[in-house]
Structure 1
């Protein structure tokens, strides 16, 4: 890839991770190597199982040890989450430095910043210094303005209607 850009998928609507994975699957079809690091995610999901079957060129990494949502966690559990998210972010920087990937997806990194597990400044510094040939895709609600300013593409997912509003819970194979 000659020039890797910065993409952001944010907003309160459904589909941010799905959009990023779609770009990654398309890229693998063209011979690119993709790494997705998932922040604040530990549950089993359909996309993990699918990506394991598709290709060795689309790797997914998780560092999360807890299985609770952030707002349900104790202070001690939040500290563990903070350490896990820093480990994940350091790993992302190492992957880029090695030059073995073409696309890096930082899934739910916006929530990691929103919950102050990573700082906006450190993520911005990474984006400013990333190798020119690596595309970086960031997902999650609450994208800080500083990240939006650095991005080349920003898509906001906006909910119009969602089955959850009717009391329909997340469905296996559709939402996770």
Structure 2
């Protein structure tokens, strides 16, 4: 990824993160699932503190599920449930390219 692509990615993630903030306050929403959000923290695209603030201030009727490979102790302490999922078989390891609508 070149520098220009990184700039675009950062902007897109920031827009999406702002949408997550709005959704976390929406009384018509009861479940929010965000895939690979923890990687955004690991790659310094959002901060752990920002996510913890959303978790603590979300509407009480909303359940949130985040995935990723890098969870911190602070995040573990801020949530109600942490599960570890291990891939037994994954097409990534057979060099299958990413699927539009699944990975992006």
Within 5 Å, which residues of 2 pair with 1:57-72?
A: none
Preserved contact between residue 24 and residue 62 of structure 2 (Cα < 8 Å)? yes
Higher relative contact order (CA 8 A, sep 6+): 1
Preserved contact between residue 52 and residue 78 of structure 2 (Cα < 8 Å)? yes
- Which among 16, 25, 29 is matched to residue 88 of structure 1? 16
Question: Alpha carbon RMSD of aligned pairs, Å?
Answer: 2.4
After superposition, give the CA deviation of every residue in 1:104-131 in whole Å (9 maximum; x if it has no partner).
Answer: 1121101111111111110011111111
In the alignment, structure 2 segments of 5+ residues that lack a partner are none
After superposition, give the CA deviation of every residue in 1:22-72 in whole Å (9 maximum; x if it has no partner).
Answer: xxxxxxxxxxxxxxxxxxxxxxxxxxxxxxxxxxxxxxxxxxxxxxxxxxx
- Which among 90, 96, 100 is matched to residue 170 of structure 1? 96
Paired with 2:69 and 2:10, the residues of 1 have a C-alpha distance of 18
Preserved contact between residue 163 and residue 169 of structure 1 (Cα < 8 Å)? no
Q: Give the structure with higher Rg (CA).
A: 1
Structure ranking higher in strand proportion: 1
| Distance change (3 Å), C-alpha of 1:170 and 1:98 | same
Question: Residue 145 of structure 1 corresponds to which residue in structure 2?
Answer: 73
Question: Residue 115 of structure 1 corresponds to which residue in structure 2?
Answer: 43
Within 5 Å, which residues of 2 pair with 1:27-42?
A: none
Structure 1's consecutive aligned runs of 4 or more residues displaced over 4 angstroms after TM superposition are none
Preserved contact between residue 114 and residue 142 of structure 1 (Cα < 8 Å)? yes
Paired with 1:158 and 1:128, the residues of 2 have a C-alpha distance of 28
Alpha-carbon distance, 1:164 to partner? 6.2
In the alignment, structure 1 segments of 5+ residues that lack a partner are 1-72
What TM-score do you get using the length of structure 1 for normalisation?
A: 0.50
| Distance change (3 Å), C-alpha of 1:171 and 1:129 | same
Alpha-carbon distance, 1:171 to partner? 7.8
SS at match of 1:154: coil
SS at match of 1:136: strand
